[in-house]
Structure 1
Amino acid sequence: MDFNQLSLQVAEVARRAGQFIRQEAATFDLGRVQSKGLHDLVSYVDQQSEKQLVDELRQLLPEAGFITEEGTEGAERAEEFNWIIDPLDGTTNFIHGLPAYCVSIALIRGMELVVGVVYEINRDECFRASLGGGAFCNEQPIHVSAANDLHNTLIATGFPYYKFDKLDGYLQILSQFMQNTQGIRRVGSAAMDLAYVAAGRFDCYFEFNINSYDVAAGILLVREAGGRVTQFMEDGEPIFSREVVATNGHIHDATQAIIRKYWA
């Protein structure tokens, strides 16, 4: 299978979903927002976008299953290939009119990421990667930053919105990064954070209580752009681990050292 060619096709699928989301943003009705749980929101835009993605991706690869955020009917897992989809990563931003949200699509073969696409809707930036094929933004090659000293880095993170039992350790980690980097940013979209690490805009991103559909595509982007992505306490595959730390590679050990000191 030509994963590079497939990533180009997936990028077009993501763009079409993004066009729908962009149109809906102009007349979005807050009254149609639902709650899935504590601080966890969903709208008809998420649901319709996901259905559109499932329908189009099924045509591209009929044998593949799906791991989806909104549980579109008929989107079930398969044995070998599975699409991992977040139809609107940054839903809370979207609902509040903050222009930082995207479409995230990844394809895994077993546990191996082979395609990743993140479409940042408001900047019209489409990030894509395929296994062994490099990473691109609007078809221009992208690479992680060259920063090799924490004091010269910009860090991204995501704030927890439930399961606050690890909050004290997380705040200690934030304190260390505040004192030893050029700053911390919280965009509100994990997929965008990872895409920005891949493009060299952020030097590091870390978050916990995170889902596979938020990070899968971005993980491949970072790796194909020359970066490194692991779990907090281990160097294992973070797709389903509920935590992720992604860096340009040069500062990964230093970043993990801070996280490991206060996380345990």
Structure 2
Amino acid sequence: MIEFLKQLARQAGAMAYADQLRLTNANIHSKGNIRDLVTDTDRRIEDFISSELKNHFPDYGFYGEETGKSHSDREYCFVIDPIDGTASFVHGQRDWCVSIGLTRNGRSVAGVIYQPVTDDLFYAEQGKGSFVNGMRMEATKRDNLAECILATGFACLRAQWKEENNLKFFSRIAPELSGIRRYGSAALDCCHTARGQIDGYWELFLQPYDIGAGEIIAREAGAVITDFYGGAEYPAKGFLCTNGKIHEKMLSFFHDYRNLQR
């Protein structure tokens, strides 16, 4: 299974990268909001991945960002984001990827993420560890927030800017950290955490396909993942992924902030 998914992600990534190099404005559209972009490539890559998966695993469900759900209530379901980081893709940047995850009864059990521009292939299976280009990954062990770098993101929020937005959390947390990065891809943020390049990541308003593969890749590297309340209702109630050493400290920021606003 994982070898097939790795090969598929590479194929899809190569197709997408070729498109990025010749992308024009005619290939770019919006989902009802100019900040929420989709390209012809998003759709073409998802169609390609979907076709391959359905041919090889006809009894599995499918949930894709562009095409939605198909039998997603089945025991096994593929969760696909053909291009996570479309804005970076459109602007010729490197921080985008192809994400293919597999869930069993709603829980992530395998995932592959391919970043074509850097030729990095991340993958994991439940209980078997997390890898990049064949090398095992491990989350950091830092427990002092002042030494930590975290990543976050700011959802386009489609129709309107919501009052409870990430800028409030950002301004509360930023002074306590060594730094904050914004890469623009939830999938890659999970991979960066797994690889030890950052110590954690948080974001609001994500969808299951954003973390379909990244969740298991981070978890198998030793990361801890919860919602903003310390529970398992992510991403609906926020998504927090850390090295585990700083997880309770990060949760306290969200808790303290909510109490201050009452």
Segments of 4+ moved more than 3 angstroms: none
1: distance between equivalents of 2:42 and 2:237? Answer: 21
Aligned to 2:240: 245
- Equivalent of residue 231 in structure 2, options 229, 235, 240: 235
Q: Where do 1:100-119 residues align within 5 Å?
A: 100-119=95-114
2: distance between equivalents of 1:63 and 1:9? Answer: 16
Q: Where do 1:1-264 residues align within 5 Å?
A: 6-38=1-33, 39-71=35-67, 75-162=70-157, 163-167=161-165, 170-238=166-234, 240-241=235-236, 243-263=238-258
2: distance between equivalents of 1:10 and 1:164? Answer: 37
Counterpart residue type for residue 100 of structure 2: I
Counterpart residue type for residue 173 of structure 2: F
1: distance between equivalents of 2:17 and 2:258? Answer: 39
Q: Taking every aligned residue pair, what percent have the same amino acid on both sides? A: 33
Contact in 2 for aligned 1:198/1:222 (Cα 8 Å): yes
Q: For 1:107, what is the secondary structure of its paired residue? A: strand
2: distance between equivalents of 1:61 and 1:41? Answer: 30
Contact in 2 for aligned 1:197/1:248 (Cα 8 Å): yes
Aligned length: 255
1: distance between equivalents of 2:237 and 2:48? Answer: 26
Question: Could you tell me the TM-score, scaled by structure 1's length?
Answer: 0.92
2: distance between equivalents of 1:94 and 1:121? Answer: 11
2: distance between equivalents of 1:75 and 1:30? Answer: 31
1: distance between equivalents of 2:24 and 2:251? Answer: 42
CA deviation after TM superposition for structure 1 residue 177, in Å: 2.5
5+ residue gaps, structure 1: 1-5
Counterpart residue type for residue 23 of structure 2: F
C-alpha RMSD of matched pairs (Å) = 1.6
Worse-matched range after superposition: 243-252 or 76-85: 76-85
Question: Could you tell me the TM-score, scaled by structure 2's length?
Answer: 0.93
Counterpart residue type for residue 27 of structure 1: R
Counterpart residue type for residue 222 of structure 1: A
* Deviation per residue, 1:197-230 (Å, 9 max, x gap): 0111110100001111011211111110011000
5+ residue gaps, structure 2: none
CA deviation after TM superposition for structure 1 residue 237, in Å: 4.4
Contact in 2 for aligned 1:153/1:182 (Cα 8 Å): yes
Counterpart residue type for residue 96 of structure 2: Y
Contact in 2 for aligned 1:203/1:247 (Cα 8 Å): yes
Contact in 2 for aligned 1:54/1:75 (Cα 8 Å): no
Worse-matched range after superposition: 88-97 or 29-38: 29-38
Worse-matched range after superposition: 103-112 or 76-85: 76-85
CA deviation after TM superposition for structure 1 residue 245, in Å: 0.3
* Deviation per residue, 1:109-148 (Å, 9 max, x gap): 1122111111111111010010111100011100101111
Contact in 1 for aligned 2:194/2:221 (Cα 8 Å): yes
